[in-house]
Amino acid sequence: MIRVMIVDDHQLVRAGLRSIIEAPGDLAVVAEAQSGEEAVAQAQQGLAVDVVLMDLNMPGGMGGIEATRRLARVVPQARIVALSALSDEPLPTQVHDAGAVGYLTKGCPAKELLDAIRAVHRGLPYVDAKLAQRRMVANWRGTKETPFADLSAREMQVTLMILDGRRNHEIADCLSLSQKTVSTYRQRIFEKLDIGTDVELTRLAYRHGLIQEMAP
């Protein structure tokens, strides 16, 4: 029996995933968490789990990438599969570097979800078919898909929080950083992306699929 943990802030999503996962009979959902903080706390209490399905787009101080990084240390035997509404870089690379061995978009068929869980449990990596195709094309062309690929994991984390509308002091509190350090990250991000304002950042993120809609 493959023991699965679901990490997602939407109860209906967790219920739907549980229904799909437990239908075949060889997989069981042994834990659920609605935030990265809750998932890490459960793992630190000795939770026995084989595969973790990790939503990347959750509210709170600890996003899916940071939760993945911490779970990879706390429960190194568990295989982490990232789930996201987005399939564009740099999120797949960022979460892979954090310790995930699989990446799926939330629009994938139920069968692909089950195949991914079984594959990573056997020690094999698993990447969404559309993402794999785009990566292959990008490698063929020898080009980067997005300017966001130049950002470090921490810069990407700060970028996502800026896009979420958080101010420097809020980001500093969430990440246990000084406001000066956050300001430095913001300046470095803008320099790498060759932009000067939050509005330009939002437009660039929308153009490259990092966010799915822009505020009116």
CATH number at 188 reads: 1.10.10.10
**Averaged over 156-177, what is the pLDDT?**
81
Q: Domain check: are 104 and 16 in the same one? A: yes
Q: What is the CATH number of the domain that holds 66?
A: 3.40.50.2300
Q: Same domain, yes or no, for 202 and 151?
A: yes
Please give the share of the chain, as a percent, with pLDDT higher than 90: 38
Q: Last residue of a domain, which of 85, 108, 138?
A: 138
Q: In this model, does residue 29 exceed pLDDT 90?
A: yes
Per-residue pLDDT, 56: 85
Question: Residue 165 falls within a domain, yes or no?
Answer: yes
Q: Of 138, 171, 196, at which residue does a domain stop?
A: 138
% residues pLDDT > 70 (the chain): 84
Burial of 188 (0-12, 13-18, 19+ CB in 10 A): middle
Q: How many structural domains comprise the chain?
A: 2
Query: Is 212 part of any domain?
Result: no
Strand 51-55 with 27-33, pairing = unpaired
> What token pair was written down for 69?
């990084």
pLDDT tens track for 48-103: 999 999 998 776 667 888 889 999 999 999 999 998 876 666 777 788 888 898 88
* pLDDT attached to residue 141: 42
Classify residue 214: in a domain, yes or no: no
Q: How far apart are CA 214 and CA 205, in angstroms?
A: 9
The CA distance from 179 to 184, in Å, is: 9
**Residue located via tokens 């903080």:** 37
On whether both 128 and 180 belong to a single domain, the answer is: no
- Domain identity same for 169 and 131: no
For residues 99 and 124, membership in a common domain is answered with: yes
Same domain, 61 and 164: no
* Full domain range(s) for residue 203: 147-207
Residues 88 and 151 in one domain: no
pTM above 0.85? no
Q: Are 129 and 153 part of one and the same domain? A: no
Reported confidence tier of residue 210, pLDDT bands at 50, 70, 90 = low
Q: Do 99 and 6 share a domain, yes or no?
A: yes
Assess if residue 154 is contained within a domain. yes
Dihedral pair phi/psi, residue 74, rounded to 5° = -75, -45
pLDDT tens digit string along 96-149? 888 898 888 888 889 889 988 998 998 888 877 666 545 544 443 444 567 877
What is the pLDDT, as a whole number, of residue 213?
55
